[in-house]
Amino acid sequence: MSSPGHTDRTRGKRLPELASHDLADLQAILDAALVAHICVIDGDQPFVLPVAFARNGDTLYIHGSSKSRLFTQLATGASTCLTVTLLDGLVVARSVFESSMNYRSVMVLGTCRVVEGQEKAAALQVISDHLLPGRWDEARHPNEQEDKATLVLALDLNESSVKISAGPPDDVPADVDLPVWAGVVPLTEHFGEPIDAPDLPVGIAVPDYIRQWKR
């Protein structure tokens, strides 16, 4: 897998000082995120889809309905762009212009390929383990009909870019003495208390592996 930003299409031109060329940053951001957005061009109309995904080595896996017009368009090998953004905080500067966000983001360019057979089964487990760690070992696995209804696509991480913005406001010197508060308001995610399904039989407790999920 090549380092982020190694091609002309992924080399940062706007605020290049925010670009990271570290593979570890690319992998950490992808492994921390639960949702990506992927672009599909159908005719002359672009669409952006939110998708669950997971990384396995140098490959991203996504899945959707095999009857989805947009997913089947991706399956033809059309060029696409996938993005992931983790929002870490709002940067509140003394001016509106300098106010911004702290974030970690990834952009991946390429084409998707259809995943089938043993790789498809393994990919579905990778996605499950990423979103719902421990669940694959306990829940029922897809049956033949469900498998046919699911389209799994792979996108290789051959061409990517990473940007990371962190730190306090960068006010212009003339604004530093303004009598207004400036700083960072962090944003965090966390899992709440699990809620039983209405039809859950009495006596079935929340599994320990679910209580161990952390964000």
Write the pLDDT tens digit of every residue in 116-149: 999 999 999 999 999 999 999 999 999 999 999 9
**pLDDT (tens digit, 9 = 90+) per residue, 30-69?**
999 999 999 999 888 999 999 999 999 999 999 999 999 8
Question: What residues does 185 pair with on adjacent strands?
Answer: 90
Q: What are phi and psi of 109, to 5 degrees?
A: -110, 150
Mean pLDDT for all residues in the chain: 94
* Both tokens assigned to 213: 């999920």
Q: pLDDT of 95-109, one tens digit each?
A: 999 999 999 999 999
Q: How many structural domains comprise the chain?
A: 1
User: 172-186 burial, b if ≥16 CB within 10 A, otherwise e?
Assistant: eeeeeeeeeebebee
Beta strands in the chain (DSSP E): 19-20, 35-42, 45-56, 59-65, 79-92, 100-115, 150-156, 159-165, 183-186
Asked whether the predicted pLDDT for residue 1 surpasses 90, the reply is no
180 falls within a domain: no
Which helix H or strand E contains 123, and what residues bound it? helix 117-131
Report which of 30, 14, 166, 77 is spatially closest to residue 5, judged by C-alpha positions: 14
- In a domain, residue 89? The reply is yes
- The residue-averaged pLDDT of 20-26 equals 93
Please report which helix (H) or strand (E) contains residue 144, including its range.
Answer: helix 144-148
In a domain, 212, yes or no: no
Say which CATH number the domain at 141 has.
2.30.110.10
Residue 12, pLDDT above cutoff 80? no
pTM: 0.93
Identify whether 183 is part of a domain. Answer: no
Residue 192 resides in a domain: no
Supply the pLDDT for residue 115: 97
pLDDT in tens, 141-169: 999 999 999 999 999 999 999 999 999 99
